[in-house]
Structure 1
Amino acid sequence: MRAAIDRLHGEVAASVRVTGPDTRLVVLPEYVLSGPPEGEELSDWAERAALAVDGEEYRRLGEIAADLEVFLSVNNYELDEHFPGIYFQACVILDPVGAVALRYRRLNSMWSVTPHDVLDRYLEVYGPESLFPVADTEIGRLAPIASEEILYPEIARCFAVRGAEVFVHNSSEVASGLVSPKNVAKLARALENTAYVVSANTAGLYTGSLPPMSGDGSSKVVDHRGLVLAEAAAGASMAANAEIDLTSLRQARRRVAMENMLARQRFELYAPTYGSVRMHPANQVTGVPPRAHFRSAQERVIADLADRGVI
């Protein structure tokens, strides 16, 4: 991890030199320090790969942000003293002095514990504002989207109604010449929320058993109209860089038009349905669950939905 941070420092510095000194936001991919877990039990992965929130790795990533005077978006697994033995996947935005501007823990995950799985205790410790934090900065209001959460419109919407203007998307995803689900979702989340999406995908996965180029390409910047402004091809690249025009975005949000999707939302219509229907229930984890818990939890949800005639 220390070697990776040193490499990233050099690569980000060189990229900023190319894109120009007015570069203010850099988004790094998911798994940039550790790679993904591949079947390890939670306690094993927590020991091997999860960071301390006040540890050396975050300090050194903060030094990159401070050295280059940028907002740096990173995604890591991290420990939490209030939940011993497990880890959360966290999106962290570091500001230009190296301090944490925002910390978000992924809410939808197939194979790891999320705040939703321990919701009552998590809210007791951190409060409701911890679930959908938005950083109000001099380069706009920033909000994170973790990996496959780009597929969940509710996640982006909850950030948007809190004022988010730029979604930073740390991702590791299958790239293809075809239109993939995540690439469709990036356009949709931008258009439906009148927001930018800055999405960084891993340039290959070399630490595990998958073919290493499965997660390569597809880093892109999408504007508030759902238009792709820049996109990287294969390989480690800084080609997905573009200008974020906050003035244009804010004018679009204030414009009376059919295209103003955010202003036309009618949440009173949707709230009763969301409030009355249970899909995947909260508070399903106590202690340190075995990895098999996550499969059985989804099996129970699917069986319940089938019994109720939802599916």
Structure 2
Amino acid sequence: MVNHTAPIESFRALALQVTCHAVNQASDRQETRSLIEKAITRLAQQIAASIAFIGSDCRLIVLPEYFLTGFPMGEPLAVWANKACIEMNGAEYTALGKIAQKHKIFLAGNAYELDPNFPGLYFQTCFVIDPAGEVILRYRRLNSLFAPTPGDVWDKYLDCYGLEGVFPVAKTAIGNLAALASEEILYPEVARCLAMRGAEIFLHSTSEVYNNSLTPKDAAKISRAVENMAYVVSSNTAGLANSSIPIASVDGGSKIVDYRGIILAQTGAGESMAAFAEIDLTALRRDRRRPGLNNILSRQRFELYAQSYSQAQFYPANTMLEGEVQRQHFIQTQQKTIERLSELGVI
């Protein structure tokens, strides 16, 4: 039997750039399930071929944001939840788990997910499946303008999962894994809270605009890597098909950044397995334990900032604890926040 817990100090990771086939035009949940099954079948073939090319030491594959369904295009929360969201113990995770088992890999991705603790809502969830086919990490996106987040039901979410469930880190044979969703790469606090818990590799599932100039998100990927002395494996979509937006609007630029901010691999546009590189845990850990100016992580003085954070009130928590809300709730809450912060002279 293969020992999936024995430490692996060096391996290859792949940010697999694949096309997302949106399900918005599907008529019902049954048609959506069929489209998702086809997406997983395509992935199984692409993953097998990619590993055959890269080599058997490819032990980590990161997939793009909402790779199974695309994102809601104005659908009410209840409609999207019923039609496009997967269940925590659903057939989709089972099918993806079989892929991870077959190839002895850690497989990371992002999906819209139902949670029985929060009926009527859904969360955008980053997940990691281990080589045994089990989901070992489930991170719910904390910053979103268009979807429910744990912060919108904060008190109940903490009761259900605790703070460690908000900022999960999976300690595995290939290092300490943590997930960041899409634009959350722009929020340094999320990565920092994960680094505080030992994160060594950030798995970034995204679907974003890419071009030859340095975008804010690309700059943030380098910043999050350097300031936390961690790898960033960022997988972007290769376009969004079956959607009203132009297909190539979110296409290209998947990359792997090391703990020094060096881009180890990067791909252009289109479906691609070109963004793969070595993850050297020994070197990372050696740098983290080396005294000196460049050991930024060990030089953090969080106590200096704690009071400012605890006193600041920007976007409010717990706005979705009671009653059904409509999609316009999110932008209305943001507008009220901007007005309040303007009155206080903060913005």
Normalised by the length of structure 2, the TM-score is: 0.89
Aligned residue type for 2:60: L
Correspondence for 1:300: 336
1:117-196 counterparts in 2 under 5 A?
A: 117-196=152-231
Contact 1:50–1:77 at 8 Å: present in 2 too?
yes
Q: Which runs of 4+ in 1 moved over 6 A?
A: none
Q: How does 1:1-311 map to 2 (within 5 A)?
A: 1-285=36-320, 286-311=322-347
**For each residue in 1:26-58, what CA deviation from the matched residue of structure 2 results, as whole angstroms up to 9, or x when unmatched?**
000012100111111101111111001111111
Report the alpha carbon displacement of residue 308 of structure 1 after superposing the two structures with TM. 0.9
In angstroms, what is the RMSD of aligned CA positions? Answer: 0.7
Whole-Å Cα distance in 1 between the matches of residues 341 and 310 of structure 2? 16
Q: Which amino acid aligns with 1:212?
A: I
Question: Aligned equivalents of 2:252 and 2:273: distance in 1?
Answer: 11
Q: Can you give the 5+ residue segments of structure 2 that lack an aligned partner in the other structure?
A: 1-35
In the alignment of these two chains, the number of paired residues is 311
1:139-185 Cα deviation digits (max 9, x unpaired): 00000000100000000000001000000000000011111111000
Q: Distance in 1 between matches of 2:245 and 2:220?
A: 24
Query: TM-score w.r.t. structure 1 length?
Result: 0.99
* Structure 1 residues 59 and 287, CA gap change in structure 2 (3 angstroms): farther
What is the Cα deviation at residue 106 of structure 1? 0.5
Deviation for aligned residue 1:293 = 0.3
The structure whose RCO (Cα within 8 Å, separation 6+) is larger is: 2
- Counterpart of 2:4 in structure 1 is none
- Give the superposition deviation at 1:197: 0.1
Contact (CA 8 Å) 1:35, 1:207: kept in 2 or not? no
AA aligned to 2:345 is: G
CA deviation map 1:186-242 (0-9, x unaligned): 000000000000000000011211111011111000000000000011111010000
SS at match of 2:278: coil
State the AA in 1 paired with 2:266: E
Shift of 1:24: 0.6
* In structure 2, distance between residues paired with 1:120 and 1:262: 30
- Secondary structure at the residue paired with 1:257? coil
Report if the CA contact (8 A) 1:115-1:122 is conserved. Answer: yes
Residues 163-172 or 126-135, more deviating: 126-135
Aligned to 2:3: none
CA distance in 1, matches of 2:87, 2:342: 41
Mapped partners of 2:311, 2:207: distance in 1 = 34
Residue type of the partner of 1:230? A
The offset of 1:6, in angstroms, is 0.6
Q: Tell me the distance in 1 between the aligned counterparts of 2:259 and 2:299.
A: 16
